[in-house]
Chains A and B, each alone.
Chain A
């Protein structure tokens, strides 16, 4: 199965500053249709995961444009341009190319 390695484990952030989370896959997530099947989720405290990014870099409906996803081979990055207090929670990456789909271990984002 594809292994997803996410870093850092914990990320203290200052509101208004930028932040980034990395995720590395053990195999390419590039489908023959040209899309990378990598998703980013945010799980706020006490809530179900909400999708932020799918197909590697497409923002889900309603997601603020301060969130962006990028790809470089098997390295994926989620960037928050200006962190807000409501962005706290645990972020997960997930590969959806090959079953069993697999998740990164999570990055806990908290306000300094």
Chain B
């Protein structure tokens, strides 16, 4: 079955760069799926960050677009997120997800990232 696993530093300094990777198993990342990131600040709701297709086409949340870069590595079956100039407001659980047009989405278990000096 499809599984997604997030990984990356748990602690990032303010003004630094948050980098996360999502390793995908059970499906080729080159298949017709959109790969995305969602985050959830502690005790708050969910926010969609952005998505990437295997071709490299991206859609970003306008609220994060100026600081956000997503990339995909077809050879490693993984995709990544890079968020620059982070502040405490970027502290959150970060989830990676898979979706297509007709089947049930899949989510990873999430990874907590804390922005603090």
Same assembly:
yes
> Chain A interface (Cβ within 8 Å of chain B)?
1, 31, 33, 35, 39, 41, 48-51, 54-55, 58, 60-61, 92, 94, 96, 99-103, 105-106
Are the CB atoms of A55 and B102 closer together than 8 Å? yes
> Chain B interface (Cβ within 8 Å of chain A)?
36, 45-48, 50-51, 59-63, 93, 95, 99, 101-105, 107-110
Determine the chain B residues whose CB is within 8 A of the CB of A106 once the complex forms.
45-46
Are the CB atoms of B46 and A49 closer together than 8 Å? yes
Are the CB atoms of B102 and A48 closer together than 8 Å? no
Determine the chain B residues whose CB is within 8 A of the CB of A60 once the complex forms.
104
Determine the chain B residues whose CB is within 8 A of the CB of A51 once the complex forms.
104-105, 107
Question: For residue B46, which residue of chain A has the nearest CB?
Answer: A103
Determine the chain A residues whose CB is within 8 A of the CB of B108 once the complex forms.
48
Determine the chain A residues whose CB is within 8 A of the CB of B47 once the complex forms.
103
Are the CB atoms of B105 and A100 closer together than 8 Å? no
Are the CB atoms of B45 and A50 closer together than 8 Å? no
Query: How far, in Å, is A54 (CB) from chain B's closest CB?
Result: 5
22 contacts between A and B (CB under 8 A): A31-B101, A33-B101, A35-B101, A35-B102, A41-B46, A48-B109, A48-B110, A49-B95, A49-B107, A54-B103, A92-B46, A94-B46, A94-B48, A96-B99, A99-B50, A99-B51, A100-B59, A101-B36, A103-B46, A103-B47, A103-B48, A105-B45
Are the CB atoms of B104 and A54 closer together than 8 Å? yes
Complex-state Cα separation, A105 to B101, whole angstroms = 24
Are the CB atoms of A48 and B48 closer together than 8 Å? no
